[in-house]
Structure 1
């Protein structure tokens, strides 16, 4: 279990620090107490400890700010909580909810189906021979969407990876500075190609590659890699951080290569 959920005191510490960040610099301990569900005296004690630990700094009476260290701790802990929540909803509760899959053949309601991830999408096949199975909740012909519940086992899925190719900004030559043959070769084996930035889009098109996505490239790449796809991202140098941040937050394996 993540540290923030390991015990009540750590969880309360996390919530109070988040409330301070939301309300700063004028912080009402009474409002925080109401929001978190503890006494005002307890909030005062927590704030004192957070200040001593360097996560909060006091600017005056009832005026506090979360320090850089406090922000970093909040972000790390929030990411841990989010990953734990994803695990609970995806792995723990997966057997009690209904999901949709693509039928690979005709399926009738009540059939046991084998489940596999293919091209980033869940597919259901009549029969229970796979490592993961479920029960169809609807009828479906081949190629149609079918409802599935009663999940058992673990879907065999190897996490994908992401390669980010850094494209020079226009002030440094933009697409004119890119070896389009190298870029085309880099995209040839990718399951998905996305772009971030105008220079990246143009460079791909000069390489006879049309990107599938030109917005929110980092989020899309992270989601696709989490579904087992190999992703190539062409990103203008100025946009690389906006791509790698979501990848890092999602724990996705990636590498950055300079094409200039």
Structure 2
């Protein structure tokens, strides 16, 4: 497992993976994505070129060679086998879930991911066995006996709010936001930008404000839907991160329609 034992090899894999996912990215983009200095990235790129894993397209832009693809494929396969073995060992022990109904120890149950949480209910053809009693809404440990489908990334709906120079929350369509939230009651609501926070409060919702972008990303990765109320001045940063994380999103214009 050389790629996990050497920081240099790990960075090499991440750079090649990013070039495969996004051929239009340059050194500066990758430095920002990996949180390392442009100088350090430049040194890594020199090594990759010398090892014939990438070729220069034009200044600052590169393409992965066939040799690079083979290197990436080999190491990703090793990682896949490692993680498959680790995950099977983790889930062969027990899973903590929220009971959708009263559960008794020894019940055959079905457990699944929904809205960012693992839930469990009784089922004759389930994929686990309850190891304790739980009333509806309580937590319970489940011993897996069958396959478990990992969560799909949750949808993100971006509700764009005008900057204060263009009216801010006064120019936002609060009624439209209320309807959006009512129609997606189980979605996490976050706000980015003061205008967005005020708009949420006008809609009768106290959103997650501090650390909102990180919450948005983490919630989606755990399968929870997210409504991100975002001031237009900071929307580009969120959109860029969502694209980098492979999370799909829709943008809703939250401005009041002019008569």
Alpha-carbon separation, structure 1, partners of 2:152 and 2:46: 48
- Structure 2 residue 128 is matched with structure 1 residue 124: no
Number of aligned residue pairs: give it: 212
Alpha-carbon separation, structure 2, partners of 1:143 and 1:50: 56
Note the aligned Cα RMSD (angstroms).
Answer: 4.3
- Structure 2 residue 102 is matched with structure 1 residue 105: yes
- Structure 2 residue 205 is matched with structure 1 residue 209: yes
Rate the CA distance shift 1:127–1:17 in 2: closer, same or farther, 3 A: closer
Alpha-carbon separation, structure 1, partners of 2:218 and 2:174: 27
Q: TM-score, normalised by structure 1?
A: 0.62
CA contact (8 A) 2:160 2:231 kept: yes
Q: Residue 180 of structure 1 is aligned with which of 161, 171, 174?
A: 174
Question: 1:12-23 alignment to 2 at 5 Å?
Answer: 14-15=12-13
Aligned to 1:250: 245
Q: Output one character per residue of 1:31-78: Cα deviation in whole Å (capped at 9) or x when no partner.
A: x9xxxxxxxxxx997452469723998xxxxxxxxx4658xx9xxx9x
Aligned to 2:164: 170
Which secondary structure state, in structure 2, belongs to the residue aligned with residue 54 of structure 1? strand
Asked which structure has the greater CA Rg, the reply is 1
Rate the CA distance shift 1:68–1:151 in 2: closer, same or farther, 3 A: farther
CA shift, 1:200, in A, is 0.2
CA contact (8 A) 1:218 1:247 kept: no
The unaligned stretches of length 5 or more in structure 1 are 6-10, 33-42, 58-66
CA shift, 1:126, in A, is 3.3
Aligned to 2:20: none
Aligned to 1:236: 231
- Structure 2 residue 134 is matched with structure 1 residue 140: yes
Q: TM-score, normalised by structure 2?
A: 0.62
Q: Output one character per residue of 1:230-249: Cα deviation in whole Å (capped at 9) or x when no partner.
A: 43211011221333234323
CA shift, 1:218, in A, is 3.5
Rate the CA distance shift 1:225–1:150 in 2: closer, same or farther, 3 A: same
Q: Output one character per residue of 1:75-133: Cα deviation in whole Å (capped at 9) or x when no partner.
A: xx9xxx7xx87x9469953643432101231321x543211334432122234434xx1
Alpha-carbon separation, structure 1, partners of 2:54 and 2:254: 47
CA contact (8 A) 2:114 2:151 kept: no
Which secondary structure state, in structure 2, belongs to the residue aligned with residue 209 of structure 1? coil
Alpha-carbon separation, structure 2, partners of 1:16 and 1:181: 44
The unaligned stretches of length 5 or more in structure 2 are 4-8, 17-30
Alpha-carbon separation, structure 2, partners of 1:26 and 1:242: 24
Alpha-carbon separation, structure 1, partners of 2:58 and 2:52: 6
Aligned to 1:152: 146
